[in-house]
Amino acid sequence: MNLPGTLKAALFGAALATLAGPALADQLADIKSAGKIITATDMHYAPFDMLTNGEYEGMTKDLFDGVSKEIGAEPVYQDIPWTAELPGLEVKKFDIVIAPVTITPERLERYAFSLPIADATVALVRAAGNDELKQPEDIKGKTVGVQQGTAQFRQLQAFGEKIGGITVKEYGTTDEAYADLAAGRLDAVAGSMPNLTYLVKNRGETFALFDKPTFGDPTYFAWVMRKDAESESFTKAVNDALLKMTDDGRIKTIQEKWLGTYTELPREVPAK
């Protein structure tokens, strides 16, 4: 049986495609094709993520608006409880978790991280009228609030054991912990230094940082993506955008707007 030349060529091409297997998926290509980036964050984590009169704002939004513009896709912002964000990312409910996530060795094994977006060193805040708590060691025997499922929670637990014991009370959001501290139901709240600095700056009549507020090793906040071949292109695009925004001064402007100061951040993802 003789086949026309064009039909032979088509059949040969189809056979080669079958042998080569399916084309590799590419998250960045899919995002650009869809024209949108699906994100997840907890919009109750000032100054990074806040709802003000029903509108989403904060340092995270300003940063990711810039990154999305560089990538060429519109961001879709979703308010998701923190404890559901990383599990949702793994099953591809969103493209990226833009809630500030502390980089830890355990998380690095499981997820791809962006470059750091802020300092995340754990610190302590007290009621403004409580002058007994000055050093981190002063929380021994006290009740300290912290957001559940965070790196700050684990660091607080370890520090409490080191100094002889504390009572740790977990909260779904930091706002709930701050409310209990203001009401006298807690002695202190642990959180990242930027969050607590912002809190005291805006509510200094109610809250005060410890004289020496931080404890533990310096850590950083970053965004989280899936750690697979499909997502490598998207992770690189996010990091390229952050480097460009660092070099042209946009990140400095955003940090100073929300944190009141600028901290130079690593240009590579820290190993721990």
Residue labelled with tokens 């965004």: 223
- 190 Cβ contact partners less than 8 Å away, ≥ 6 residues apart: 122, 123, 124, 144, 145, 146, 152, 153, 155, 156
Task: Give how far Cα 86 sits from Cα of 36, 40, 110, Å.
Answer: 20, 9, 10
Contact between 56 and 99 (Cβ < 8 Å):
no
Residue 49, classed as helix, strand or coil, is strand
**Where are the extended beta strands (E) located within 47-183?**
50-52, 55-57, 74-76, 96-102, 111-113, 118-119, 122-127, 143-147, 167-171
CA–CA dist 257, 253 (Å, integer): 6
Contact between 234 and 72 (Cβ < 8 Å):
no
Please provide residue 226's backbone torsions phi and psi, each rounded to the nearest 5 degrees: -75, 145
176-235 pLDDT tens trace? 999 999 999 999 999 999 999 999 989 999 999 999 999 988 899 999 999 999 999 999
Contact between 125 and 207 (Cβ < 8 Å):
yes
Domain 27-119+219-259 coded CATH 1.25.10.10: no
Identify the pLDDT of residue 261: 85
Identify the pLDDT of residue 68: 98
Identify the pLDDT of residue 272: 66
According to CATH, what is the number of the domain 122-214? 3.40.190.10
Nearest-10 crossing angle of helices 232-247, 250-259: 80
pLDDT tens for the chain, 272 residues long, are 454 544 444 444 444 444 444 456 899 999 999 999 999 999 999 899 999 999 999 999 999 999 999 999 999 999 999 999 999 999 999 999 999 999 999 999 999 999 999 998 999 999 999 999 999 999 999 999 999 988 899 999 999 999 999 999 999 989 999 999 999 999 999 999 999 999 998 999 999 999 999 998 889 999 999 999 999 999 999 999 999 999 999 999 999 999 888 889 999 999 86
Burial category of 161 from C-beta neighbours within 10 Å (exposed 0-12, middle 13-18, buried 19 and up): exposed
Contact between 258 and 198 (Cβ < 8 Å):
yes
Structure tokens belonging to residue 9: 């060529």
Identify the pLDDT of residue 4: 52
Q: Where in the chain is the domain with CATH 3.40.190.10?
A: 27-119+219-259, 122-214
